[in-house]
Structure 1
Amino acid sequence: MTETRSQIEKVTVLINPMAGHGHAPAAGRKGVARLRARGVAVTEIIGTDADDAKKLARRAIEDGTDALVVVGGDGAISIGLQAAALTDTPIGLIPAGTGNDHAREFGIPTGDPEAAADVIADGVVQQSDLAKITLADGSVVWSGTIIASGFDSLVSERANRMSWPKGPMRYNLAMLAELAKMKPLPYRIELDDEVITVDATLVAVGNGRSYGGGMLITPGASKSDGLLDLTVVGHGSRLRLVRLFPRVYKGTHVSLDAVQTYRSKKVRLVSEGIIAYADGDRVGPLPITIEAVPMALNILTHTRI
Structure 2
Amino acid sequence: MRIALLANPAARSGARTGAAMRAAERLRTHGVQTAIVSGGSALESSELLRAAIDAGVDAVAVAGGDGTVRLAIQHLAGTGIPLGIIPTGTGNDFAAALGLRELDVETAADAIAAGTTLDVDLARVLRDDGTAEHFATVLASGFDSRVNDRANAMTWPRGGSRYTIAILREFVTLAGMPYVVEFESADGARERVESDLVMATVANGRTYGGGIPISPDADPTDGLLDLVLVRPAGRARLLRLLPRVYRGTHGTVPEVAMHRVRSVRIVSPGVTGYADGDPIGALPLTVDVAPRALRVFIPAV
- Shared fold, TM over 0.5: yes
Q: What is the aligned partner in structure 1 of residue 187 from structure 2?
A: none
Alignment RMSD: 2.0
- Partner secondary structure for residue 46 of structure 2: helix
Question: Which residues in structure 2 correspond to 1:165-184 (within 5 Å)?
Answer: 166-167=156-157, 175-176=167-168, 178-184=170-176
| CA displacement at 1:246 relative to structure 2 | 2.2
Provide the C-alpha distance between the structure 2 equivalents of 1:303 and 1:185, rounded to a whole number of angstroms. Answer: 45
Number of residue equivalences: 294
Q: Percent identity?
A: 41
Name the CA shift for 1:65/1:267 in 2 (closer, same or farther; >3 Å): same
| CA displacement at 1:97 relative to structure 2 | 1.3
Name the CA shift for 1:253/1:134 in 2 (closer, same or farther; >3 Å): same
Provide the C-alpha distance between the structure 1 equivalents of 2:248 and 2:34, rounded to a whole number of angstroms. Answer: 39
Q: What is the aligned partner in structure 1 of residue 91 from structure 2?
A: 99
Answering whether residue 219 of structure 2 is matched by residue 222 of structure 1, we say yes
Native 8 Å contact 2:5 2:34 kept in 1: yes
Name the CA shift for 1:21/1:187 in 2 (closer, same or farther; >3 Å): farther
Name the CA shift for 1:51/1:206 in 2 (closer, same or farther; >3 Å): same
Structure 2 counterpart of 1:130, from 103, 122, 127: 122
Provide the C-alpha distance between the structure 1 equivalents of 2:92 and 2:166, rounded to a whole number of angstroms. Answer: 22
Native 8 Å contact 1:129 1:223 kept in 2: yes
One-letter amino acid of the structure 1 residue matched with residue 57 of structure 2: T
| CA displacement at 1:26 relative to structure 2 | 2.3
Structure 2 counterpart of 1:285, from 282, 285, 290: 282
Q: TM-score, normalised by structure 1?
A: 0.90
Answering whether residue 105 of structure 2 is matched by residue 113 of structure 1, we say yes
- Partner secondary structure for residue 23 of structure 1: helix
Provide the C-alpha distance between the structure 2 equivalents of 1:265 and 1:77, rounded to a whole number of angstroms. Answer: 23
Q: TM-score, normalised by structure 2?
A: 0.91
Name the CA shift for 1:170/1:219 in 2 (closer, same or farther; >3 Å): closer
Q: What is the aligned partner in structure 2 of residue 61 from structure 1?
A: 53
Q: What is the aligned partner in structure 1 of residue 202 from structure 2?
A: 205
One-letter amino acid of the structure 1 residue matched with residue 219 of structure 2: S
Unaligned residue ranges in structure 2 (runs of 5+)? 185-189
Q: What is the aligned partner in structure 2 of residue 186 from structure 1?
A: 178
Name the CA shift for 1:141/1:21 in 2 (closer, same or farther; >3 Å): farther
Answering whether residue 46 of structure 2 is matched by residue 46 of structure 1, we say no
Structure 1 counterpart of 2:21, from 29, 43, 61: 29
Q: What is the aligned partner in structure 2 of residue 258 from structure 1?
A: 255
Residues 206-226 of structure 1: CA deviation (Å, up to 9, x unaligned): 011100111000111111111
- Partner secondary structure for residue 153 of structure 1: helix
Provide the C-alpha distance between the structure 2 equivalents of 1:303 and 1:149, rounded to a whole number of angstroms. Answer: 35
Structure 2 counterpart of 1:154, from 146, 151, 158: 146
Provide the C-alpha distance between the structure 1 equivalents of 2:197 and 2:13, rounded to a whole number of angstroms. Answer: 33
Deviates more, 1:270-279 or 1:245-254: 245-254
Q: What is the aligned partner in structure 2 of residue 301 from structure 1?
A: 298
Native 8 Å contact 2:9 2:40 kept in 1: no
Name the CA shift for 1:79/1:181 in 2 (closer, same or farther; >3 Å): same
Native 8 Å contact 1:215 1:249 kept in 2: yes
One-letter amino acid of the structure 2 residue matched with residue 184 of structure 1: G
Name the CA shift for 1:102/1:195 in 2 (closer, same or farther; >3 Å): same
Provide the C-alpha distance between the structure 2 equivalents of 1:248 and 1:236, rounded to a whole number of angstroms. Answer: 15
Q: What is the aligned partner in structure 1 of residue 7 from structure 2?
A: 15
Residues 144-186 of structure 1: CA deviation (Å, up to 9, x unaligned): 00000010112323455x5x76446876675455322222111
| CA displacement at 1:74 relative to structure 2 | 0.9
Provide the C-alpha distance between the structure 1 equivalents of 2:108 and 2:58, rounded to a whole number of angstroms. Answer: 16
Native 8 Å contact 2:117 2:298 kept in 1: yes
Unaligned residue ranges in structure 1 (runs of 5+)? 1-8
- Partner secondary structure for residue 204 of structure 1: strand
One-letter amino acid of the structure 2 residue matched with residue 85 of structure 1: A
Provide the C-alpha distance between the structure 2 equivalents of 1:41 and 1:201, rounded to a whole number of angstroms. Answer: 48
Native 8 Å contact 1:106 1:303 kept in 2: no
Provide the C-alpha distance between the structure 2 equivalents of 1:170 and 1:219, rounded to a whole number of angstroms. Answer: 21
